[in-house]
Structure 1
Amino acid sequence: MSVSRIVARIASPKKALTAAALAAATTGLVLTSAPAQAATTSASSAQSIAHKMIPSAAQYNAFSKIVEHESGWNVTATNSSSGAYGLVQALPGSKMSSAGSDWKTNAATQIKWGLDYMNSRYGSPTAAWSFWQSNGWY
């Protein structure tokens, strides 16, 4: 089952937040939003960042296919059996600290690390995608 199907089965985060805010308001509590520098967690935000970082359509499409298969564009995706983490499923996830100390939550940091990895190991995201298609991993 794909990540998107699993996510679709989970109650809407907006509905959950609305319900929590309503419950808090009726009991006199106040909920505040996360700070502006909080993690980029939405798939569309991460994809937008990647589009800006990868100007070539072919390279972006290859990168995007890998990320879709690996994490479903979920910045905090964690493989329960291996511990691989993030958009590009780095193993261990802490490897991404070489791209920035905010590697656990920042899509741009994870994308930068992933691009560097794909370029250094395979030559490009398209070559990494070709390898992924043959092996089911990269």
Structure 2
Amino acid sequence: MLEGNRVSRISVRGFAVASATAVTTVGAVVGVASGSTAQPSNDAEATASDATLLADIPTGQQAQVQTASLTQQADVQAIAADASAKKDAEEAARKQAADDAIAKQKAAAKAEKDAKERKDAEAKASRSSTRDATSFSVQSSYSVAQIQAMARQMVPGGQFQCFSNIVNHESSWNYKAVNASSGAYGLFQALPASKYSSAGADWQSNPATQIKWGLNYMNGRYGSPCEAWTFWQANHWY
């Protein structure tokens, strides 16, 4: 039977060898995972060279040392594998997030383009279904119903009610209405009245010319008659 001190020394030395072997192994594993080509340290090689001492250890203890070494190596390799898997998962998640962001941007751009195309198509359809002021025959006088009928043919259907609301408040559809204090004139109470001339020279006698001017004004200043009506309701002028 071996002396207690000798067994203790050899056992410790054996575990040291096992540990050195495990460190060397995990170094190689981690190095491969990170792309490093560094060589094991001289200290690890020198310690590993003492493995011959295992021959002096009784068979039962050799098995224990070897089992401990293999277990430690397996644990270290598992840790390295987990770290590598975590790194791969994080990289995959970043790539997926970037792909998702690009896809959302493309979808938003397409939706915006489609909306613009629909709006342009609707505007074109509205223009094609309306009449110009010059297409109406000139009369010596016009009733409110006749003027409203003109407006219905000149103003896009979805905008007519807003358009009508403004005219009702400004002039009650009287194309010759005059504001005694300011001189504002016509269906839209333009000030000065000569503003109507941009739509036609016959603005004083032709309500269709005034309607053309009022529609152009609402579209140009507010975007549409309904937007103009929204502003009017908040401010009582437009």
Normalising by structure 2, we get a TM-score of 0.41
- The aligned runs of 1:1-138 (5 Å cut-off) are 37-56=138-157, 58-138=158-238
Matched letter for residue 153 of structure 2? K
Amino acid at match of 1:47: Q
Structure 1 residue 41 displacement after superposition? 3.0
Seen in structure 2, the aligned counterparts of structure 1 residues 113 and 44 have a Cα distance that, compared at 3 Å, is same
Give percent identity, aligned residues only: 60
Which 4+ runs in 1 deviate beyond 6 A? none
State whether residues 218 and 228 of structure 2, in contact with CA within 8 Å, keep that contact through their aligned partners in structure 1.
yes
For 1:5, the equivalent position in structure 2 comes to none
Is the CA contact 1:40–1:75 (under 8 Å) kept in the aligned structure 2? no
Instruction: Report the CA distance between 1:59 and its aligned residue.
Output: 0.6
| C-alpha distance 100-39 of structure 1, shift in aligned 2 (>3 A) | farther
Query: For this pair of structures, how many residues does the alignment match?
Result: 102
- The question of whether the paired residues in 2 share the 8 Å contact of 1:43 and 1:73 is answered with yes
- Indicate the RMSD between aligned Cα atoms, in angstroms: 1.3
Q: Distance in 1 between matches of 2:151 and 2:233?
A: 21
SS at match of 2:178: coil
Instruction: Please give the alpha-carbon distance, in whole angstroms, between the structure 1 residues aligned to 2:232 and 2:205.
Output: 25
Deviations 1:35-79 (Å, cap 9, x if unpaired)?
x833443111110000000132x3100000000010000010011
How far apart are the structure 1 equivalents of 2:151 and 2:223?
A: 18
Task: Please give the TM-score of this superposition, normalised by the length of structure 1.
Answer: 0.70
Which structure shows the higher helix fraction?
2
Contact 1:86 1:110 in 2 (8 A): yes
Distance 2:209 2:156 in 1: 17
